[in-house]
C-alpha cells in the first residue's frame, strides 16, 4: 500500500474530525508527592530494582503539573482541536477510597478550562494504569471491590469535569494492565499469574460497564467509551500450528475485549484455553460490560506476528523498526479498522494513540525526526483508507505530545513530537510537530474551501 498517496488525496476528513495529541498523567506530570497526591502502583513498581531500564521513575517526569499552561500553549499552537489526557486517580482520591483531594481536582479543573479557553476539546481518560497503591494493598484489580471504587472515582471526576469534557474513556489498554501487569509481570504491579490476570481483565471490563451505566444515570453529556490496544495478528508461516496459535493470540488480544463489549460474551476458544484460570463471572456482569458506548478508542502501533515455535524475530519481517523494536506497518491499521468494522456493530472509532519512538537528536534547536514524520503521515493515510472503505472514524491522536516516561523503558525511548530536555525541561518542536501543524492547517483550509463551494 502506498499510504502517502492516500494521504495526499485525503482532503475529505470531515470538519468535525478530532485531530489530537495524547498524553497520560503518570508519564508527564511528575509532582509525585505534591499537594496531597497519594502513591500509585507505578510509584511503587519504579522502586523495584531492575524494573525500569534506566532505573528512573515518575517523580519529576516532564514537570507538566507545574508547566501545564505553557504545555497547553504548545498544544494550541499545533492547531489540534483535541487533547487526550488522563486523570491520576491517586492525585484526586489518594487512597482510592475515602477522602477526595481538592488540590488534585483543582488541577484538572484548571487543565480542562485551560484547554477550552484555547479552543481545544478535552478528551479525558480515567484510568491510564496508575491505580492508588492503597487499593493494590487490598488486592488491586483482582479484588472485585476495586470495581466499585472505580465507579465512585468516575462519578467524582464527572461531578467536577463532566460538563466540560468532550469525552470520557474509562480505561486505557486493559490488555496491558491485565497481561503485562499481572501475567508477564514486567509492568506494575508486577504480578505473574495467569488466573489473576484473567480476573483482572474481567474486573476492568466490568468496572467499565458499571461506570458507563452510573455516568449515564447522572445525565453525563460527554461521549463515553473505552480505549483498547489492538493489532492485526498474523501467522509467521502457513503451517497449521502457526495458524492455530494465531487464532488463539487474536482471541487473547482482540476478541477477549471486543466480544464482551460488543457481543456480550467471552470467546469460547480463549475460555477453553484458560481452563481453570478462567475468571469468575457473576450473574449480570456480561450485560453490564455490554452497555452501549459512544465511541471505541483504538491504540495502534504495530502488527503481531505469531509463531507456534516461540517468540518471532521481527527481523524476519523485513520491515523497518521503530526504536522500540516494533515493526512499522501502516497497512495493519487499515486492516485492523476494517476487520473491527466487519466483525462488530460499532460506534465511531477513534485512533486514540499512534506514533513511534525513534532515536532523536537535538541540534541547533531542531530535531529532524523524518522517520516519525513518515510514520505519522502513513498511518493517517491508513485511517483515510479505512474511511474510504466505509469505516466510521471520529478522530486521530498522535502519541505523544511530549517525550515522556515510557514505563519499563524509562526515559530512554522518545515518542514525543515535542522534544523534552529533561535536565532543563525545555521543550522543542520536532519536525514531526511542524509537519503535523502544517498538515492540520491544510486540512482546515480544505474543509473551509469545501464549505464555501458547498461540497
Ligand atoms: O506510552 C504508551 C502509552 O502509555 C500506552 N500506549 C502505548 C504507549 C507506547 O508504548
Reported confidence tier of residue 7, pLDDT bands at 50, 70, 90: low
% of residues, the chain, pLDDT over 70 = 96
The DSSP bridge pattern shows strands 167-172 and 223-229 to be parallel
- Output the pLDDT for position 446: 86
**Residue 173 bears catalytic tag:** yes
Question: Quick check: CB of 399 below 6 Å from ligand 1?
Answer: yes
pLDDT of 447 reads 80
* CA–CA gap between residue 445 and residue 200 (Å, rounded): 46
Q: Is 322 in the pocket of ligand 1 (CB under 6 A)?
A: no
d(CA 447, CA 15): 6
Q: Quick check: is 353 catalytic?
A: yes
Q: Give the closest residue (by CA) to ligand 1 atom 9.
A: 406
Q: Is the CB of 173 under 6 A from ligand 1?
A: yes
pLDDT for residue 388 is more than 90? yes
Q: How far, in Å, CA of 427 to CA of 430, rounded?
A: 9
For 323-342, letters b (16+ CB in 10 Å) and e give beebbbbbbbbbbbbbbbbe
Ligand 1 centroid – CA 188 distance (Å): 14
Tell me the pairing of strands 426-429 and 418-421: antiparallel
259-282 pLDDT, tens per residue? 999 999 999 999 999 999 999 999
299 lines ligand 1 (CB under 6 A): yes
- In eight-state DSSP terms, residue 235 is E
Ligand 1: atom nearest CA of 400 is: 1
Atom 10 in ligand 1: which residue has the minimum CA distance? 406
Q: For ligand 1, atom 4, which residue shows the shortest CA distance?
A: 24
Cα separation, 450 vs 435, whole angstroms: 22
CA distance 269 to 267: 6
Residue 10 has pLDDT above 60, yes or no: no
Catalytic-labelled residue, pool 29, 134, 173, 183: 173
The alpha carbon of 142 is separated from its chain's Cα centroid by a whole number of angstroms, namely 21
Catalytic residue from among 249, 353, 385, 406: 353
Phi, psi (deg, nearest 5) at residue 365: 75, 10
Q: What is the pLDDT of residues 57-75, one digit of tens each?
A: 999 999 999 999 999 999 9
Mutational test site, ligand 1, from 53, 58, 171, 173, max ligand atoms within 8 Å of CB: 173
Could you identify the atom of ligand 1 that is nearest to the CA of residue 299?
Answer: 6
Distance 73 CA to ligand 1 centre (A): 23
Q: Is the pLDDT of residue 247 over 80?
A: yes
* Percent of the chain scoring above 90 in pLDDT: 95
Nearest CA to ligand 1 atom 1: 406
pLDDT by residue (tens digit) across 284-318? Answer: 999 999 999 999 999 999 999 999 999 999 999 99
Cell numbers placing 40: 500509585
Q: How far is the CA of 117 from the centre of ligand 1 (A)?
A: 28
pTM for the whole thing?
A: 0.97
Q: Are 233 and 261 in contact (CB under 8 A)?
A: no
State the burial class of residue 193 (Cβ atoms within 10 Å of its Cβ: 0-12, 13-18, 19+).
middle
- 24 CB under 6 A from ligand 1? yes
pLDDT of residue 5: 47
Query: Which atom from ligand 1 is nearest to the alpha carbon of 353?
Result: 6
Amino acid at each position: 500500500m502506498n499510504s502517502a498517496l492516500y494521504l495526499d488525496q485525503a482532503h475529505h476528513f470531515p470538519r468535525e474530525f478530532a485531530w489530537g495529541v495524547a498524553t497520560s498523567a503518570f508519564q508527564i506530570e511528575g509532582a509525585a508527592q505534591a499537594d496531597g497526591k497519594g502513591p500509585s502502583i507505578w510509584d511503587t513498581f519504579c522502586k523495584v530494582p531492575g524494573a525500569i531500564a534506566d532505573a528512573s521513575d515518575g517523580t519529576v517526569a516532564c514537570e507538566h503539573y507545574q508547566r501545564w499552561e505553557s504545555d497547553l500553549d504548545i498544544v494550541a499552537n499545533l492547531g489540534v482541536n483535541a487533547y487526550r489526557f488522563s486523570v491520576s486517580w491517586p492525585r484526586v482520591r489518594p487512597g482510592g477510597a475515602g477522602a477526595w483531594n481538592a488540590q488534585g481536582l483543582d488541577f484538572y479543573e484548571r487543565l480542562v478550562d485551560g484547554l477550552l479557553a484555547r479552543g481545544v476539546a478535552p478528551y479525558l481518560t480515567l484510568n491510564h494504569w496508575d491505580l492508588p497503591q492503597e487499593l493494590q494493598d487490598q488486592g488491586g484489580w483482582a479484588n472485585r471491590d476495586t470495581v466499585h471504587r472505580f465507579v465512585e472515582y468516575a462519578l467524582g471526576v464527572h461531578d467536577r469535569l463532566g460538563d466540560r469534557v468532550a469525552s470520557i474513556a474509562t480505561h486505557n489498554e486493559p490488555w496491558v494492565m491485565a497481561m503485562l501487569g499481572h501475567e508477564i509481570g514486567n509492568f506494575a504491579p508486577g504480578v505473574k499469574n495467569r488466573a489473576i490476570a484473567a480476573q483482572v481483565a474481567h474486573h476492568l471490563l466490568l468496572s467499565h460497564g458499571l461506570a458507563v451505566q452510573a455516568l449515564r444515570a447522572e445525565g453525563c453529556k460527554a461521549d463515553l467509551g473505552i480505549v483498547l490496544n489492538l493489532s492485526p495478528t498474523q501467522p509467521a508461516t502457513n503451517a497449521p500450528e502457526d495458524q492455530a496459535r494465531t487464532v488463539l493470540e487474536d482471541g487473547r488480544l482482540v476478541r477477549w475485549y471486543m466480544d464482551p463489549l460488543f457481543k456480550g460474551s467471552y470467546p469460547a476458544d480463549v475460555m477453553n484455553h484458560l481452563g481453570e484460570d478462567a475468571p469468575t463471572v457473576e450473574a449480570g456482569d456480561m450485560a453490564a460490560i455490554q452497555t452501549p458506548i459512544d465511541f471505541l478508542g483504538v491504540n495502534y502501533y504495530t502488527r503481531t506476528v505469531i509463531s507456534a515455535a516461540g517468540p518471532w524475530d521481527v527481523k524476519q519481517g523485513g520491515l523497518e523498526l521503530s526504536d522500540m523494536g516494533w515493526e512499522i506497518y501502516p497497512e495493519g491499521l487499515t486492516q485492523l479498522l476494517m476487520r473491527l468494522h466487519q466483525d462488530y456493530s460499532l460506534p465511531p472509532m477513534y485512533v486514540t494513540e499512534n506514533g513511534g519512538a525513534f532515536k532523536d537528536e537535538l541540534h541547533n534547536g531542531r530535531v529532524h525526526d523524518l522517520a516519525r514524520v513518515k510514520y505519522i503521515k502513513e498511518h493517517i493515510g491508513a485511517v483515510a483508507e479505512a474511511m474510504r472503505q466505509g469505516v466510521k472514524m471520529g478522530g486521530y491522536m498522535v502519541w505523544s505530545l511530549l517525550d515522556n516516561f515510557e514505563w519499563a523503558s524509562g526515559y530512554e525511548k522518545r515518542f514525543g513530537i515535542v522534544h523534552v530536555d529533561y535536565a532543563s525541561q525545555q521543550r522543542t518542536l520536532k519536525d514531526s510537530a511542524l509537519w503535523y501543524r502544517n498538515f492540520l492547517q491544510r486540512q482546515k483550509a480544505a474543509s473551509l474551501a469545501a464549505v464555501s463551494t458547498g461540497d
